[in-house]
Amino acid sequence: MAKSKYEYVKHFEQDDRLLPGCWLVVRLDGRGFHRFSSLHGFTKPNDLRALQLANRCAETVMKDVQDAILAYGESDEYSFVLDRKTRLFGRRESKITTTVCSLFSAAYVLYWPEFFPETPLQYPPSFDARAVCYPTSRILRDYLSWRQADCHINNLYNTCFWTLVQQGGMPEKEAEETLRGTFSADKNELLFSRFGINYAHLPAIFRKGTTLVWEEVEIPVTTPSGESALRRKKAVRALDVDIIGDQFWHDRPWLLGEDTPLPPAGTEDAKSDTPL
* CB 103 to a second copy: min, Å: 4
Choose the binding region for a second copy from 125-133, 157-165, 168-176, 248-256 (rule: CB under 8 A).
125-133
Phi-psi sector, 104: left (phi>0), alpha (psi -120 to 50), beta: alpha
Query: Please, which residues have CB within 8 angstroms of residue 243's CB and are 6 or more apart in sequence?
Result: 72, 144, 145, 148, 208, 211, 249
Looking at 87, 194, 233, 234, which residue binds a second copy (CB under 8 A)? Answer: 87
273 makes contact with a second copy (CB under 8 A): yes
Q: Mask of contacts with a second copy, 231-260, x by CB under 8 A?
A: -----------------------------x
Q: Mask of contacts with a second copy, 133-162, x by CB under 8 A?
A: xxxx--x--xx-xx--xx-xx---------
34 makes contact with a second copy (CB under 8 A): no
56 known ligand binder = no
217 makes contact with a second copy (CB under 8 A): no
Report how far residue 124's alpha carbon sits from residue 181's, in angstroms, rounded to the nearest whole number: 37
For residue 73, what are the β-bridge partners?
A: 78, 210
Within residues 163-192, the interface with a second copy by CB under 8 A covers 184
Q: Mask of contacts with a second copy, 46-75, x by CB under 8 A?
A: --------------x---x-----------
Amino acid at 261: P
Query: Please, which residues have CB within 8 angstroms of residue 236's CB and are 6 or more apart in sequence?
Result: 59, 62, 63, 212, 213, 214, 215
Q: Which is nearer to a second copy, 110 or 230 (CB)?
A: 110
Choose the binding region for a second copy from 15-23, 42-50, 194-202, 226-234 (rule: CB under 8 A).
15-23
Choose the binding region for a second copy from 41-49, 94-102, 172-180, 220-228 (rule: CB under 8 A).
94-102
Q: How many residues bind a second copy (CB under 8 A)?
A: 83
195 known ligand binder = no
Looking at 72, 78, 80, 108, which residue binds a second copy (CB under 8 A)? Answer: 108
34 known ligand binder = yes
3 makes contact with a second copy (CB under 8 A): yes
30 known ligand binder = yes
29 known ligand binder = yes
Annotated binding residues: 29-34, 75-76
